Amino acid sequence: MDQEQFHIDFERSGGFTGGSHRVKINSGELDSEEAELLKQLIGRSGFFEAFVLENKFLNMPDQFSYQITIEHMGKKRSLELTDGSIPDLFRPLINYLVRVARKNRRT
C-alpha cells in the first residue's frame, strides 16, 4: 500500500434493533476531495495517538459498539469502542464512517 494511502475497516453494531453497518474504505478508490476529507478527519481525531479506554460502560443496554481499524503511513491501529467510550475528538470521524456505511448498505 502506498504510504499516503489509507485503509479503513469499520463496523457499527448493536443498538435497539441489533443491526450492523460495515464499510471498508481504501483511499485509492475515493475521489481526491473525499480522500482528503477523510485524511483530515483521521488526523484531527488523533486516532493513532489518543489514549482510549475501550469498551467503557459495556452493560449499557441498546448502545452501539464500533470496531475500527485504520492503516496509514505505516501504522495500524484497531479499537473496539462503545457509545460510552468514544473520545469527543473521534466523533466526527465515527459519524462520517456511519454515514458512509449506511449509504453503502442501501446501494
Q: Cα separation of 30 and 25, whole Å?
A: 8
Q: Cα separation of 50 and 14, whole Å?
A: 24
Helix, strand or coil, per DSSP, at residue 30:
coil
What pLDDT, in 10s, does the model give residues 64-93? 889 999 999 899 999 998 888 888 999 999
**Domain encompassing residue 69:** 6-106
CATH number where 94 lies: 3.30.350
The pLDDT assigned to 107 comes to: 46
11 located within any domain:
yes
83 located within any domain:
yes
Number of domains in the chain: 1
Q: Which helix (H) or strand (E) holds 46?
A: none
What pLDDT, in 10s, does the model give residues 10-34? 999 887 776 788 999 999 999 999 9
92 located within any domain:
yes
1 located within any domain:
no
